Amino acid sequence: MDYDVFDLGDVRLQNGATLPDAKLAYKTYGELNADKSNAIVYPTWYSGQHDDNEWLIGEGMALDPATYFIIIPNMLGNGLSSSPGNTPPPHDRARFPHVTMYDNVQVQHRLVTEQFGIERLELVTGWSMGGGQTYQWAVSHPDMVRRILPFCGAATTSLHNIVFLEGVKAALTADAAWNNGWYHEQPGIGLRAMARVYAGWGFSQQFYRERVYEREPLGHGSLEDFLVGFWEGLFIKRDANNLLAMLWTWQNADIGRTPGFDGVEEALAAIRMPAIVMPAQQDLYFPPEDNEWEVSHMPNAELRVIPGAWGHFAGGGLNPVDTKFIDDALKELLAKDA
């Protein structure tokens, strides 16, 4: 096991349910300095785990373990932290309670403060749902977070994004083997169908038109090879109930529901730390227009669009050009006084 587990005890969730004996899996990179002033939180994304985030960490990069103490907390539901697939009855499988972005950040805050005694974070950053958690950190703990850089994510899930996720959910749950969540073997047909639906959204029309999947670093021999090798390969190794639990979290993401706030505009206005918000130019479910609206309500934020054809996966660490663009922005933001 290449990660640690923080025991949370019984956690009362935002919707009133209790998640008993909850666990938060996490991994750290680098060393916490003496005054505990070099910490960064870098949450995971939909279906991703801590090792899927490691592409943005390294020597000479903004997230350099020689300089910073980087904490990657695994999102609740992702199979390592408490999830439908690893929680004992009666809260297992289809009975796993609904978890919000707010809940995720609350338990991450406990990890940061109780386990490490950290009072200030130099940065919170993340891709996709990691970007959503980044926004939530800024709203829930504004006095603690010095800077944020969410990329290919959003402060609240748009109606169009919810519709996309309904298609993903329908494909998965249409498999009779899913059995309303009470399966004993993974619903393989549903997982593969879900991957096919996702494939039309994760990359842009230009990406497919120009057959970028045939070039390095992907290097697939055909469209079908890409659909099977990349997309089905991504989801077939995941647990269906875990995916559905995280999907609910995604669909219900909204910083405007943070206790003490009356809607998303008020919550965005409270994000006063320096921020660079980075959508991808052709992201089909977190489009730049949505982030542009968010930034217009944030007093100290800049919109910086990731150019190119990779769509949402511009933030996935697969394309070196996009990785450098994100890393350069992180370096610039970390150099700013906050």
Active-site option among 47, 82, 83, 128: 128
In terms of Cα–Cα distance, which of 145, 84, 78 is closest to 109? Answer: 145
Which amino acid is residue 67, in one-letter code? Answer: T
CB-CB contact of 203 with 43 (8 Å)? no
Active-site option among 239, 283, 290, 322: 283
Instruction: Give the span between the Cα atoms of 34 and 244, in whole angstroms.
Output: 41
- Residue 83 falls in which region: left (phi positive, over 0), alpha (psi -120 to 50) or beta: beta
Q: Is 273 exposed, middle or buried (0-12, 13-18, 19+ CB in 10 A)?
A: buried
312 as an active site residue: the answer is yes
CB-CB contact of 315 with 151 (8 Å)? yes
2 as an active site residue: the answer is no
As given in the structure block, the two tokens for residue 85 are 């697939």
Instruction: Give the span between the Cα atoms of 89 and 56, in whole angstroms.
Output: 37
* Cis ω for the linkage preceding 97 (within 30 of 0): no
CB-CB contact of 45 with 126 (8 Å)? yes
296 as an active site residue: the answer is no
- The SS3 assignment for 281 reads coil
Instruction: Give the span between the Cα atoms of 145 and 314, in whole angstroms.
Output: 25
CB-CB contact of 282 with 311 (8 Å)? yes
DSSP assignment of 242-295 equals HHHHHHHHHHT-BGGGSTT-SSHHHHHHT--S-EEEB-BTT-SSS-HHHHHHHH
70 CB-side CA count, 13 A: 25
Enumerate the active-site residues: 128, 283, 312
